[in-house]
Chains A and B, each alone.
Chain A
Amino acid sequence: MDFFPILAALRRHRTAAVLIILEIAFTCAMVSNAVFLISERLRRMDRASGIAERELVRIQVTGPGRQENAQAVTQEDLARLSGIPGVRSAASSRQLPFGNSSWNSGLTVAPDQLHASLNASNYVGSETLFETLGVRLVAGRDFTRDEYIDEEAALQSTATLPIIVTRAVSERLWPGENGLGRIVYMGPGHPLRIVGVLEQLVRPNELRGIGDFELSVVLPVREKYKPNDNYVLRVDPERRAEVLAAAVAALGHSRHNRLILKQQTLEEMKNEYYRADRGMAWLLVSVCAALLIITALGIVGLASFWVQQRTRPIGIRRALGATRGQILRYFQAENFLLATMGIALGMLLAYGINQLLMQRYELGRLPAQYLPIGALSLWILGQLAVLGPALRAASVPPAVATRTV
């Protein structure tokens, strides 16, 4: 296909050609970045939390902190909850992944270190916490029964207490090792020896930054009841609703000055946590679809106009022996050329937009594989859009076009 005559012909319709190129360029740039953003959000929502998400339900209780026999009430509650049919394991926990509220501490590797090496979220709960949450140890062990210590005692103690950290913490502090046996400090008077390393346990929120989402530690503290503590139960996925209802009934709405604040499955918590990302992904999908439709309609509109303007030249070409197929191919080649120029410009724009997004919105760099996707979709779109007008052009009878009236 000879492109030079096409280019020459386009020069006479510069404005319209430039408009189509610009429209394709903008659409290409926006669609590439939008698809990238969507995949980033989906990836974010797919992150492993380290716990058995589909098997957990939680009940959050609140009520005044100063309570008589708070510890005994908790034990009684746990006993009741464990007795519910379908409950494989029950635990209490001050915080949970996707729970939003969190308790965080700075960790140092030396007692006199002034700047924290990292900030980790602290999980404390009953002895059954690990088996209930379903977290996996990659090194070391869980706490033993007698390692658990009351909260006040822990504050006063200067002995080295055990601690369990996630693999991410160990990697950050001692890259390449698993940190077992090492000592960390939460403040100068509190050394802690790492006795176990978890594969994964994410924080309740990302307020400290997305990169620190996996930095958590577990402390062997027999927590005193605090408002907004959680009871978490491990059940079979199919029985979650039934067990949740039974658990709420078993706890009673307001025994011992405690109110049930929230009751939900962990999956619901996770969905709530990511609802903004989901909303953004949906918005991007709609905008992409709308963009492609609008661009297609624009091409159809302009191409029809062109065909109408060039009825006579087309007729003359037909009269001189051009077949319908050749006329059709001419218009499709012209559109292909415009699309290519638009896509080339669009790629540059896409990278430009990506740079902006990287700076202001913590996005990654646009990977190269998104560009062929954008290019291909716009080529196909262009060809489909021009098909109608091109077919109409091709069916212009030579006789009609060469009439002078």
Chain B
Amino acid sequence: MRVFYYLELALRSFRRNRVLTALMVLAIALGIGTSMTTLTVLYILAGDPLPGKSDRTFYVQLDAEGKENYQPGGEPNVQLTRADAEALLRARRADAQAMMTGGEGAIQPSEAGREPFHVDVRYTSADFFSMFDVPFARGAGWTEREDEARARVAVISKQLAEKLFAGSDAVGRTIRLDQHELVVSGVLDAWRPTPHFYDLFTGAYEQAEQVFLPFSTSRDLDLERMGNIDCWGEQSMTPTALVAPCAWIQFWVQFEHRDQAAAYRDFLVHYSEQQHESGRFVRPPNVRLRNVMEWLDEGKVVPSDVRLQTWLAFAFLAVCLLNTVGLLLAKFLRRSQEIGVRRALGASRRAIFVQFLVEAGSVGLVGGVLGLGLAWLGLWAVRQQPQDYASLAALDPSMLAVTFVLAVASSCAAGLLPAWRAAHVTPALQLKSQ
């Protein structure tokens, strides 16, 4: 097996040129380390939060605003008014649909002497849990009937269940949110969609909410909302009233097949026309129906700093590789006499080329291992940052594989030129006694 012989040759050469080899390994390790750190962060932040369903799950936007600030062809408001969201929910034209918005409140534990604490809440409708594959540890969500009946039910997160009920079954128990009692119908398993795609206003990489309850119930109890609200025209009523000219609700739909989206889009246009005729919509129909990844793209979820850092790291890797090319060239041509002897003994140019390519690749391998360690360190440093996505930064198996492939491939690429030059050393010149 020639390759093992070449590896042995490579190892000997490392031992003879310790300093030079160390420099090369260090350069590659630094380049790989920084590139993999930034690439992993980018990969995590730009990932698909709903794998398998993201191309048939869509976000709905309608243009309900007035004449002010109207730009023909401009983007409609990011959110829907309460009236439109409730109308679309009632229409049930998709296989699954959910309206939702953010909220907050204070939970009062039932034991005496325990202080109330603040929680983030989501007000939504029954289909939310099945649409987004939300995992349940116990129990289940609520039904459409309960939506309509404004039932006093809630679904709570795993942490909240542990905090309030410490291990015992929470399903059927009562929680007190802002002095109102709600019955727990289900407890979620650990769930943290990355990004927090269904509502970017409450934090693109935030943890999921602690409490979920029907939107209708939240209006009945007049619970606090959280997130972004845009109002227009005459401000003469509470922004959260049914007919208030304010956009604050998110609306998601899901289909069995993504081609059904076109028909739904037509429905949205038809709905806008109806509203226009009745005088509620002032502007011509202007609808948007984007799937999850398109929606994340439009919302520019990945911070531009993260992209910039990734480019920076790869440019740094390029410089490290340039460096490696130079050092490999120096290292290989230093052994011109050895090459001359081997050629004289019958080695073909190809054999020499492969030998040095293997040597370059093995430098890359060692550099990759070291670089992996540096990447692990780098990701640890990222986790110490107080960003909301910080705790997500961790190496996963696919990134591990990418590290090694990148290290070996880039060092082989760097070794191409030096290996070629080494292979074209003229044996006769080298074998002279000078």
A contact residues vs B (CB 8 Å cutoff): 15-16, 19-20, 22-23, 26-27, 30, 34, 62-66, 106, 114-116, 155-156, 187, 189, 227, 253-254, 257, 259, 261, 272, 275-276, 279-280, 283-284, 287, 290-291, 294-295, 297-298, 301-302, 304-305, 308-309, 357, 360-361, 404-405
Contacts and interface: CB of A to CB of B under 8 A. Distances in A.
Nearest to B68: A114
A155 B236 contact: yes
Nearest to B385: A279
Given A26-B319, A283-B309, A295-B323, A361 B27 contact: no
A302 to B, nearest CB: 5
B312 A287 contact: yes
A30 B316 contact: yes
A92 B433 CA distance: 91
B103 to A, nearest CB: 10
B: interface residue count bin: 35 or more
A133 B421 CA distance: 70
Contact of A305 (B222, B312, B333, B417): B333
B106 interface: yes
Contacts of A15: 329, 417, 421
A253 B235 contact: no
A301 B327 contact: yes
Nearest to B386: A275
Contacts of B329: 15-16, 19, 302, 305
Nearest 6 CB-CB pairings of A with B: A305-B330, A298-B323, A19-B326, A64-B178, A301-B327, A23-B322
Of B307, B308, B313, B330, chain A has the most CB atoms within 10 Å of the CB of: B330
A115 B23 CA distance: 62
A202 B179 CA distance: 37
A272 B421 contact: no
A290 B316 contact: yes
Interface of B: 20, 23, 27, 30, 34, 67-70, 104-106, 115-118, 178-179, 222-224, 233-236, 303-305, 307-309, 312-313, 315-316, 318-320, 322-323, 325-327, 329-330, 333-334, 385-387, 417, 421, 433-434
B178 A114 contact: no
A257 B433 contact: no
Contacts of A156: 236
25 contacts: A16-B330, A19-B329, A26-B315, A34-B312, A62-B118, A65-B222, A66-B222, A257-B106, A257-B179, A261-B118, A272-B386, A283-B309, A283-B312, A287-B316, A290-B316, A294-B320, A294-B323, A297-B323, A298-B323, A301-B330, A302-B326, A305-B329, A305-B334, A309-B333, A404-B433
Contact of A290 (B30, B307, B327, B421): B30
Contacts of A20: 326
A23 B386 contact: no
Contacts of B303: 276
